Structure 1
Amino acid sequence: MDKKIKILIVEDDESIRDILLAFIQQNGYLVMSAADGMAGYDLFVREAPQLVILDIMMPRMNGYDLLKKIREISDTPVILLTALGREQEQARGFDLLADDYIVKPFSHTILIKRIEAVLRRNRPDTPPDMIRHGDVQLLRNSCEIRFRDELIDFTPKEYELIKFMLENQDHVFTRNHLLDILWGEEYYGNEKIIDNHIKNIRKKLDCELIQTVWGMGYKISSKNTK
């Protein structure tokens, strides 16, 4: 655990705030807290935390408005923590670029796991041999692909297909182009083999990594990293 990681809690309920502060500190983080949105924003600007845990229903400035202000100046990860559990409220939080949403009551152990996951997805220290795309990590030196830190078993061609497309994000490739890249121009097999490989990749990864561009081919979007 990196004990220099700072987490800001913005929560108007003093009892919840104190419990969160103590529990998160016990797990090795530096923790600061604020009791309302205005104080939270001032503390955020002054202390530059690596993660914000943010209640929604607060005086002076609610959580949605504070999240908007944070996003105007920073992409620091934000976890919304609230009793508002309806789908439209969660959707609004994600529309405002929240990184996660936890509904009260919640397990403190699960909260720590969600904190670790969000920090892991947003850490900037990507090794030079790694390509990171959301929860997917490709390691060139060891020819491994991990999804949410779990090693996934891919065939050599599946690995090469993912690697090539990750190295060329936002480009749309036809089946024939991918055939030439992966099998060479002398390959005369059915181009549907590309569809089969992509189908197998999608079964192994619980995320929309490779997108279908109808009538054209396939791509990996650099914007689709959450």
Structure 2
Amino acid sequence: MTTILIADDDINILQLVNIHLTEAGYKVFQAKDGTEALGVLNREACDLAVVDVMMPFMDGYALTREIRREYDIPVILLTAKNQIEDKEEGFRSGTDDYLVKPFEPKELHFRIEALLRRYDKHSEESIIYLGNTAINKKNYEVQIGNRTILLPLKEFELLYFLALNPMQVFSRHQLIEHIWGLDYEGDERTVDVHVKRLRERFSKLTDDVQIKTVRGVGYSLEANRR
């Protein structure tokens, strides 16, 4: 059974989310602050954490950073704030998704399902080999022969996602959803910019990474996996 940790100092939110997720078939653990949440994670194997930003003793940003250091599970931040600066701090802390209160429990459920699908697929293989190129999700490094390349986070995640699904065409909207999240408010041209940067980086180093443009649709990575 999939296990979800809910950390929120609002008892009404805890009860509401617990009821809906339990009915959806999840096992739910509750915590009223970040310190208590870490205690749950130390005792129980959780598959995903839903974390409120404003909590006593340890806020959601700090808790998310701790989860990122110790556990390989997705995190959804809950907050009453909707400012871009707050979202930026959340994503810098390592959250995978961001949901603003008040929210529909059904939407939280949808987001949980989407993240669990992504993590399940990513967990199947941490290192993807494209010819002589290795894309390592464990340390976020790209190895080309004896050369190691460190990419900006979103460039790496975009490359890894395309390499994990070679020969599949993804629209810009799909890539935004998978890499930047459902709440991303920027322009879809962000995808074009990141693809351009990846092409420029690898064009002089290897032919293993070939990101193709499918006119009117989006992008696909052509690769010979090994």
TM > 0.5: yes
Distance in 1 between the 2:85 and 2:168 partners? 38
SS at match of 2:214: helix
User: Which of 32, 37, 48 is residue 35 of structure 1 equivalent to?
Assistant: 32
User: Which of 163, 166, 172 is residue 202 of structure 2 equivalent to?
Assistant: 172
Report the equivalent of 1:138: 165
Please, which runs of 5 or more residues in structure 1 have no aligned partner?
149-168, 182-193, 211-218, 221-226
Q: Which structure has more RCO (C-alpha within 8 Å, separation ≥ 6)? A: 2
How far does the alpha carbon of each residue in 1:53-84 deviate from its partner, in whole angstroms, 9 at most, with x for none? 00010111111111122122122111001111
Q: Report the CA distance shift for 1:53/1:202 in structure 2 as closer, same or farther (over 3 A).
A: farther
Distance in 2 between the 1:86 and 1:93 partners? 11
Q: Which amino acid aligns with 2:111?
A: R
Report the equivalent of 1:111: 108
TM value normalised by structure 1: 0.61
> After superposition, where does 1:49-198 map in structure 2 within 5 Å?
49-123=46-120, 124-125=123-124, 133-134=160-161, 138=165, 172-173=202-203, 198=212
Q: Which amino acid aligns with 1:138?
A: N
Contact 2:18–2:28 at 8 Å: present in 1 too? Answer: yes
Displacement of 1:170 in angstroms is 11
Q: Which runs of 4+ in 1 moved over 4 A?
A: 143-148
Count matched residues.
Answer: 165
Q: Which amino acid aligns with 2:87?
A: Q
Contact 2:170–2:218 at 8 Å: present in 1 too? Answer: no
TM value normalised by structure 2: 0.61
Report the equivalent of 1:200: 214
Please, which runs of 5 or more residues in structure 2 have no aligned partner?
131-158, 175-198
Q: Equivalent pairs: percent with the same residue?
A: 31
SS at match of 2:57: coil
Q: CA RMSD in A?
A: 3.7
Q: Report the CA distance shift for 1:201/1:74 in structure 2 as closer, same or farther (over 3 A).
A: farther
Distance in 1 between the 2:200 and 2:116 partners? 25
